[in-house]
Chain A
Amino acid sequence: MMSEPISPEEVAHVAYLARLRLTEDELSRFTEQLGAILNHAEDVEALELDDVEPMSHPLPIENTMREDVPSPMLKPSDFLPEAPAVEDGRFLVPKILGEEP
């Protein structure tokens, strides 16, 4: 396994995906720190686990659902005052570049 499991470019890309901006200094610092953690995780990566089922949940339960019946809703006054910007009862955001996904 490489001693540099993650490159600065990868860190920069991941920061973009997570909507974070890093300074030059932070970029190199985080690259080093993330590298150390991933190095530590080498032990997991090296395991042969082809026959093992992944466990995304600690509980063996299934089929938890609710009935299609209404429950109390909030009023705009419950949450709009906490919003950074509002117009006409809707959340205001700065202009969106590009097409809708």
Chain B
Amino acid sequence: MKQEIFKDTWELIVGLEVHAELSTQTKLFCGCLNQFGNEPNTNVCPVCLGLPGSLPVVNETAVYFAMRLGRALHCSVNRSVFARKNYFYPDMPKDYQISQYDLPTNLEGYLELPSGEIIGIERAHIEEDTGKTTHIGTSGRISGADYSLVDYNRAGVPLIEIVSKPEIRTIEQAKAYVSELRGIILALEISDAKMEEGSIRVDANVSVREIGENDLRTRCEIKNVNSLKSLGRAIDYEANRHIGLYKNGESPRQETRHWDENAGRTRSGRSKEDAEDYRYFPEPDLVPLNPSEETITKIDQEMPELPSKRREKLANLTGVKPSDVALIVERNHDAFALNVIEDGGLPDQVVKHLVNNLSAGLGELTAEALAQLVQMENKSEITSTQAKKMLGELVQRGGTPAELATELGFEAIDTNEVENLVDQLINEHSDEWERFCSGDTKVQGFFVGQVMKATSGQADGKLINQILNERSTSK
């Protein structure tokens, strides 16, 4: 495991707990709709309200989604037992949450980052989401609130919780982990995983230790991180806070802290002296889940192409640098790229356009069109400036580059024509030419501008410079 040095001689240790809301039609333990934006307490029934006498029944699709994610993360899929996690809070209708404890669905896997680094995954288990509490008072935050209101529409929505091993060593790795995990989840189509909407939530367990130490020191759990940027800032703040304490001869308390985005700091949560004892025990209202070999084999066979595989494919074909490949796959443009290359587009030029000029989306652009465009560029039939402009049009309204070039009047400017123009200019502006030849690069723009003017901007800038240089050296 590569060790990163963080602030002098300290090593950063991060483990991430990611919760993703599964995009099933109904909730985990009842047939209520798993939907947003409805009037409060309208997507509920006796089960998800925890009414006396109600009983849970497991949603088979939620289980299926969870097993697929487990396999995508190289976990073993096991016989699992649901467990009750007991504590009092009004957003939990039963005052216990049905989760999984020592026998979860998925165990012992790993996640490969785009850089190739491996982060171990301890487990990925299924549990139910809580309702939503709104705090009414002056600040809208829990402290200072006069009272709170609870809506159970979200109670019982299926969640999968993925717990990484504490093997993350840099903030970049932490962000890459979340992005990659998200990419996998999206590829599996089991959640829409939007951090801003809360359908994917990240908690970070942060600790530090001096380089060379083997044991882990006290860690703190950081909650309320709502974006990758916040994740980075929160980890940075917290690590520094720990280091500060150690340098002072103190040490951090093991606790849950909340990230305050506005203040740019973490704050202590409820006092942990009376640590909550969750009294986990097997859920007696549910029976164990024991997937068959056939089920797991089928899941493996139906596994879609995951981001790492797609990056590998594109990298092999194009020999392009990892960051570009990762970007294209993240935007879901890799299949398109492969098609363009198949249609005859040169790999690195295809990649260049995708990375630089198509970040907003492909729109009406077809693979054939891009391939053709790249070929035209290659044969110097159009300049790169022209290509960029044409791309914009093709994305907006489709069509073929050949037709578009004609329409826009982008005719190929002959090399001879450019040479003649340059020679003409050299004759007409001998002073400027003298200056150029003696090394005055500023005057280069003048000559290029003149040629552009004479050709209505359609000459290839590269070509002009090439000819200018040839002329100056041949003198």
Residues in chain A within 8 A of chain B (CB atoms)? 16-17, 19, 56-57, 59, 61-76, 79-80, 87-101
Contact = CB atoms under 8 A, between A and B. Distances in A.
B246 interface: no
B147 A92 contact: yes
A59 B62 CA distance: 24
A16 B47 CA distance: 27
Name the prevailing secondary structure of the B interface residues.
loop
Given A93-B90, A96-B148, A101-B89, A68 B142 contact: no
Nearest to B92: A101
Interface stretch (B36-44, B117-125, B236-244, B393-401): B36-44
A98 B40 CA distance: 25
12 contacts: A56-B281, A63-B289, A65-B289, A66-B60, A68-B25, A68-B59, A88-B40, A89-B151, A91-B152, A93-B90, A94-B147, A99-B256
Given A62-B289, A69-B31, A89-B40, A96 B135 contact: yes
A101 B87 contact: yes
A65 B126 CA distance: 14
A57 B150 contact: no
B46 to A, nearest CB: 7
A75 to B, nearest CB: 7
Given A17-B279, A90-B151, A91-B90, 11 more contacts: A56-B81, A56-B281, A62-B287, A63-B287, A69-B25, A73-B44, A93-B90, A98-B142, A98-B271, A99-B258, A101-B276
Interface string B134-176: 1101000011011111111000000000000000000000000
Interface of B: 24-26, 30-33, 39-46, 49, 51, 57-63, 79, 81, 87-90, 133-135, 137, 142-143, 145-152, 256, 258, 267, 269-271, 274, 276-277, 279, 281-282, 284, 286-291
Given A87-B149, A92-B148, A96-B90, A68 B24 contact: yes
A68 B150 contact: no
A36 B311 CA distance: 66
Contact of A71 (B31, B39, B79, B276): B31
Contacts of A59: 287
A89 B152 CA distance: 11
A26 B166 CA distance: 46
Contacts of A74: 44-46, 49
Contact of B45 (A61, A73, A88): A73
Contacts of B60: 65-68
B51 A79 contact: yes
A65 B63 contact: yes
Contacts of A66: 31, 57-60
Contacts of B63: 65
